Chains A and B, each alone.
Chain A
Amino acid sequence: MTSIGTGYDLSNSVFSPDGRNFQVEYAVKAVENGGTAIGIRCKDGVVLALEKLVTSKLLKKDANKRIATVDRNAGVVHSGLLPDGRHFVSRARDEASSWRGTYKAPIPGSALANRMGAYVQAYTLYNSVRPFGITAIIGGYDAETELSVDGAVGNGPKVGAGGKTQGVKEGGPFLYMVEPSGLYWGYYGAATGKGRQAAKAELEKLKLDPKEGNCISLEEGVKEAARIIYVAHEDSKDKEFELEMTWISSMSGPTKGRHEEVPKALREEAERLAKKSMEGEEEEEEKMEG
């Protein structure tokens, strides 16, 4: 941050002599203070989880939901400036709906991430706007089964020309993270916000790479996500927080291809296990010390 005050950081879309766009870097700072948000891409679905810091006792409990549904099959969790997050979500919804308008089918995760990356990037190009003060994690499930085209009638030929190809499988769970610069990557496990370092360290321990086999299941993913949020919260332990979690599975899974909130009973069970494992670690530490 040695270049602060040299004048190249006062306007968006301006490069400094060493090729940096400071306003984008400052936008990242806004993200770094937000509650931790993570996403885990499991074998049979995706979990999104968020550490929601309780800023006031007067807030209604379990009300202020922050993980948003974009289309039936996709959700977004974000960290940073809340209103910017809602702007992002509202654009994502528009993209999903316009995709449906054109292609009569839900938007694939890759296309959604690409469109949103492009949109966020556009807010780094002009001095008349500022970059998004958020990092967003997009998770969802591209259908493997053949979905009927929106509004289709009839089933078409069962065999022969125009008939169905048997046994074709595409799609599956997807997870992307979009940064204020507009840069995005696909992830097996993604983390952003204040506790991202701790969260990333935990994510790296999980079996998430499908190429290596025995990738964790969605149910395990829910429990891990809860635990990781609790781990990431360790550094701001004095503050109260709420855990918000959503998930999405295939058509044959528990959410039937829809992005939904994790049922209360399952979330509470995951939280109980998370707290237990935290206590367990403390005991171990004590033993070591002893």
Chain B
Amino acid sequence: MNHFPEAWGRPRDEIYGAYNPTYLPSSLGGAHQPTTRTQSPIVTGTSVLALKFSTGVVIAADNLASYGSLARFTDVHRLKPFNKRAVVGFGGDVSDMQYLDRLLNSLDVEENYTSSTGDSKQGGEEGLVDAPLMSAKNLHTYLAKVMYKRRTDFNPLWNALLIVGLDDQSQPFLASADLLGTTFSAPSLATGFGAHLAQPILRRVVPNEAASRELSREKAVEAIKECMKVLFYRDARSMNEYSIAVVDENGVELSENEKLENQSWAFADRIKGYGTQVV
């Protein structure tokens, strides 16, 4: 018989059988696993790219939503215009993107409770009428708080976001927020695979803030389109149809059905070591 103190006052195993610990968490020898929430994204979108230029920002993302390695949905638009000063680009889980889009929708409805004048849309007489419109910077702060709250609850929204547009001073604004609640800002940003493949190219175009202030809109769009092409060459979760948006003082210009042009797969010949190639 066990005379050690841990057995004092307990039912004796030889009479009552061993203690049944299954209701306890696994750390105490039971069968219960800890509560878990989202552990991985399900249907996903790949990279989002954005680049600041002298008077605005350009952003792009392809129209594919993958289910694992399956190209499941091919008409998914991952750039969501918030108002005429801000666009959000979504990488990562598509259902979480839908949740955030609904959140932004209700935020927009609330924003319009107070500023629903027909005049302001047509420019208005005073410049001040437009001023309270939520800026991209305001929107980024808000989304970053949402993302951080969710990760702190151990229930992250599995996305990498780029928020682009104009800030309170109507200057070009570009910043990211991700599932960890991390925020970052730079003249060029890319999420997902793009962070590895497109960002070096974009940094060659705008090495710093000063360079982005000199960059023309045409050059910026061209650079982004070039990066989308490189991503399509090398990212197996990408597609040749994509959305691209430009935000500047004139508002948002969004095109959701762009196709990659002037592709050149000549380099593919030289790649060795994959599939059934033997030479």
Contact = CB atoms under 8 A, between A and B. Distances in A.
Chain A interface residue bracket vs B = 20 to 34
A71 B117 CA distance: 14
B120 to A, nearest CB: 9
Given A104-B102, A151-B101, A69 B65 contact: no
B18 to A, nearest CB: 50
A181 to B, nearest CB: 27
A96 B76 CA distance: 27
Interface in A137-181: 150-155
B276 to A, nearest CB: 34
A119 B105 CA distance: 25
Nearest to A258: B116
A230 B119 CA distance: 23
Contact of A154 (B75, B101, B106, B117): B75
Contacts of A258: 112, 116
Contacts of B73: 153-154
B102 A93 contact: no
A261 B98 contact: no
A57 interface: no
Interface residues of B, number: 23
Contact of B109 (A97, A261, A264): A97
Nearest to A264: B119
A210 interface: no
Interface string B104-134: 0110011011001111011000000000000
B98 A151 contact: yes
B77 interface: yes
Given A151-B102, A263-B119, A71 B76 contact: no
A151 B122 CA distance: 28
Given A69-B113, A153-B98, A154-B75, A262 B105 contact: no
A85 to B, nearest CB: 14
A97 B113 CA distance: 12
A264 B77 CA distance: 37
B223 to A, nearest CB: 27
Nearest to B116: A69
B101 A259 contact: no
B105 A260 contact: no
B94 interface: yes
B248 to A, nearest CB: 22
Nearest to A260: B118
Interface of A: 68-69, 71-72, 93, 96-97, 100-101, 104, 150-155, 246, 254-255, 258-264
23 contacts: A71-B109, A72-B112, A93-B113, A97-B110, A100-B102, A100-B105, A100-B106, A100-B109, A104-B102, A150-B102, A151-B97, A151-B101, A153-B75, A153-B77, A153-B97, A154-B76, A260-B116, A260-B118, A260-B121, A261-B117, A261-B119, A263-B122, A264-B119
Closest 8 CB pairs of A and B: A151-B98, A151-B101, A151-B102, A263-B118, A260-B118, A153-B76, A261-B117, A69-B116
